[in-house]
Amino acid sequence: MVRILAKFSTIVLLASIALMSSPVEAQRSPGLSTDSPDSRTLRVQRKVDELYERGEFDRAYFIYRNELVPVGDKYAQYMVGYMHLMGMGTDEDPVAASAWYRLAAERGTPEFVAVRNQLMHDLNADERRLSDDHYLRLRRQFSDLVVLLEDIKRKHRGLQPPTGSRLMARSSPITIIETNSSHPKRPGLDYYGSIRADLQGRLIRLSKLGNFPDLETDPYRINISELERLVEQRIESIPD
């Protein structure tokens, strides 16, 4: 145990520094568009921080892992790794921790890169191979490309009017009723125009993030199956 603690002492120090860093805290937002976290996500973030500070690690781990990780919260992905490293609320597993740190560092945030590099340096060759396997599984589920693609697919479904006609989205005089909006009634053109603009912005972001220079970014012309193929192909490689 003394050997293990000594081995990871630098990592724990770096992690503590990272926890206090405002650039790291900024990674709480999805960071995949210009959107800010919605009110529910902000409440969840505050709640899980309070649970962690009170030492309720089992509950904190569950929320980080199952509610915030899937929406692209890099801070949450980092915290899952940190809690694996320390055995807080989950099993102590440096290999799993390294995979989560690698996921958290995919945007190049210096603090996350530092703890990732240190932990990877301290793993032996077999552990690094296991880390590669674990990291690849995480990339398939929670990488920025996957999170962004799922958001695009949701937006694309929302672009389809009740009749399924794309023409209707462009020209129909229908009125859309949104029960959860401060402006519950909106003309169809405004409603679908807003979705189209949001979707196009996300497609442009996907093109840059995945280095897909020829990606179709017109929401009315995209091929979802082709997007899925491109993203799957990209995430199957290990970039670091």
pLDDT in tens, the chain (240 residues): 433 444 555 455 455 545 545 555 556 655 554 456 778 889 999 999 999 999 999 999 999 999 999 999 999 999 999 999 999 999 999 999 999 999 999 999 999 999 999 999 999 999 999 999 999 999 999 999 999 999 999 999 988 765 545 544 444 554 444 455 555 555 555 777 888 999 999 999 999 999 999 999 999 999 999 999 999 999 987 766
Distance CA 13, CA 119 (A): 12
**Do 212 and 204 meet the contact criterion of CB atoms below 8 Å apart?**
no
- The SS3 call for residue 226 is helix
List Cβ neighbours of 25 (8 Å cut-off, separation of 6 or more): 75
pLDDT of residue 109: 92
pLDDT of residue 30: 53
The closest of 36, 11, 39, 16 to 26, measured between CA atoms, is 36
pLDDT of residue 19: 55
The closest of 54, 58, 99, 56 to 81, measured between CA atoms, is 99
**Do 2 and 82 meet the contact criterion of CB atoms below 8 Å apart?**
no
The closest of 91, 87, 84 to 69, measured between CA atoms, is 84
**Do 120 and 134 meet the contact criterion of CB atoms below 8 Å apart?**
no
Domain ranges of the chain: 2-141, 144-235
- CA 166 distance to own-chain centroid: 30
* Residue type at 29 in one-letter notation: S
Distance CA 206, CA 204 (A): 5
Tokens of 116: 């990732």
Look up the pTM and report it: 0.79
Distance CA 136, CA 141 (A): 9
Tokens of 75: 């801070």
Distance CA 17, CA 179 (A): 44
Q: Where are the beta strands (DSSP E) in the chain?
A: 175-177, 185-187
The closest of 233, 221, 211, 70 to 150, measured between CA atoms, is 70
